[in-house]
Structure 1
Amino acid sequence: MPENRDLKKRTGTKDKILKVANTLFCNHGYKATSVRKIASEVGIRESALYNHFKNKEAIFLEVAKSIFNSPFSFKEDEIKELASRGKPFLQKFAMQYKMLTFDKKSESMFKLLIIELMQNEQLREQFMVQFHHNNIKTLSEAFFIMMQNNLIKSNDPMMVSYEFLSTLFYIRFQITLLRFDSKSADSLSTQFERHVDFFWESIKSS
């Protein structure tokens, strides 16, 4: 029992470190956020924080991982079920992307990631694997199922996935830039749905 309590305590502290670090990174940036500041906000000594993370970069990479992974986590049976219906899969994927785009914490972290991607090789590798490759894989599986069910035209599922995802990413990037300059992005809020409608019409079987 004591071991279980210790494990829960360690997990709880680690989660709190990540939550606090996320807020500090978003509010002050990566460089201006120190390990000492994170530890102080968590309410632990700096030395205690190193029991959970090797350094600040390790904390940042773990925080980034949660941003990359969320919310595109489809279970295998969910992919099959939605993809077998065609357009509903694309609608759900795009809606999750939209929710991520307009989530304030995710938006702040996304801005920071765009800056840090150019300076951190590990972050770039993490981005390519966890965000890019995983989403292309999920989409490719879905488009392949749609092709098997004659819902869409036969084509290279990976290339179709690139086409679908790239526009979503561009819309998100455009919205982030507008909001960074405190400009309204309301006119782009329906672009996600419009993209799905336009894309579906271009790939569906005749």
Structure 2
Amino acid sequence: MQKQNTKEKILLSALKLFSTKGYDGTSVRDLAREVGIRESSIYKHFKNKQAIFDSILTYMDSYYNEKMKTLDMPLGEFEKIAGDYSEGSIDFLYQISSALFLMRFKDEVEIQFRRMLTIEQFSNPKIKAIYQKYFISDILSYQTALFTEMIKQGRFVECDPKIMALQFYSPIYTLQNLYEGQFDKEEEVLSILKDHIRQFDSRYSKKGGGKR
């Protein structure tokens, strides 16, 4: 595992504190104590607390990109990605979906980031927009585009892909919140996820389409 530099330690420590105490409830002194450095050392890397918060958002973009590379998801042109899903069995769809789910269910940085945005969205409209982008709108947009292409390729029946995306993702979003922090329930939640995907596929799969 690559050793963290001081700046990254500050960011991850700030993320941890912001996710439990909130932005306003965390002082630079608290952060310095958490990192194990002097308060003045924080200012060698960041102008102020707001700069730390803003840098967390930038850091998480890179963090997500690196995580996605490790999940072995279909890559390339969107038509090809949809084709990979269309050609794969229902187990393939579950494999990809469960990998994404577990990243958000088990990854400590991911969990802290979600909690931080959840806390701050109620006092800051910009943070609310960021929360919705990361955990709702971007995902729904991607799935809508994916299902649109899969309908074109004959994998799914003709229907409204936006509604499909809502019906696919809403239970997954609910499970993430319902089982938040319950790591001992991993097997249970994955079983529910598999049943959801099977039922979704049986509802929308076109006869003669993707493998079952």
TM-score normalised by L of structure 2: 0.70
Change (3 A) 1:173 1:192: same
Q: Is the 8 A contact 2:14 2:52 kept in 1?
A: no
TM-score normalised by L of structure 1: 0.72
Question: Which residue in 1 is equivalent to 2:199?
Answer: 198
SS at match of 1:150: coil
Query: What is the alpha-carbon distance in structure 1 between the residues aligned to residue 175 and residue 129 of structure 2?
Result: 23
Query: What is the alpha-carbon distance in structure 1 between the residues aligned to residue 117 and residue 93 of structure 2?
Result: 27
Question: Which residue in 2 is equivalent to 1:47?
Answer: 43
1:168 pairs with 2:161:
no
Question: Which residue in 2 is equivalent to 1:120?
Answer: 124
The one-letter code sitting in structure 1 at the alignment partner of 2:158 is: S
SS at match of 1:153: coil
The one-letter code sitting in structure 2 at the alignment partner of 1:55 is: A
The one-letter code sitting in structure 1 at the alignment partner of 2:82 is: K
1:15 pairs with 2:8:
yes
Number of aligned residue pairs: 193
Query: What is the alpha-carbon distance in structure 2 between the residues aligned to residue 92 and residue 102 of structure 1?
Result: 15
Change (3 A) 1:76 1:38: farther
Bigger shift: 144-153 or 17-26? 17-26
Query: What is the alpha-carbon distance in structure 2 between the residues aligned to residue 198 and residue 79 of structure 1?
Result: 22
For 1:69-108, list aligned pairs within 5 A. 75-77=75-77, 79-85=81-87, 87=90, 88-89=92-93, 91-108=95-112
Bigger shift: 128-137 or 193-202? 128-137
Query: Per-residue CA shift, 1:34-89, capped at 9, x if unaligned?
Result: 23433452746232233597535424544665687785676444733433325434
Q: Work out which of the residue numbers 19, 31, 40 in structure 1 matches 2:24.
A: 31
Where relative contact order (Cα < 8 A, 6+ residues apart) is larger, the structure is: 2
For 1:129-148, list aligned pairs within 5 A. 129-148=133-152
Query: What is the alpha-carbon distance in structure 1 between the residues aligned to residue 110 and residue 101 of structure 2?
Result: 11
Query: What is the alpha-carbon distance in structure 2 between the residues aligned to residue 67 and residue 122 of structure 1?
Result: 21
Q: Is the 8 A contact 1:65 1:130 kept in 2?
A: no
Query: Per-residue CA shift, 1:151-183, capped at 9, x if unaligned?
Result: 11111212211111111001111112x74xx99
Q: Is the 8 A contact 1:141 1:157 kept in 2?
A: yes
Unaligned runs of 5+ in 1: 1-11
Query: What is the alpha-carbon distance in structure 2 between the residues aligned to residue 48 and residue 148 of structure 1?
Result: 54
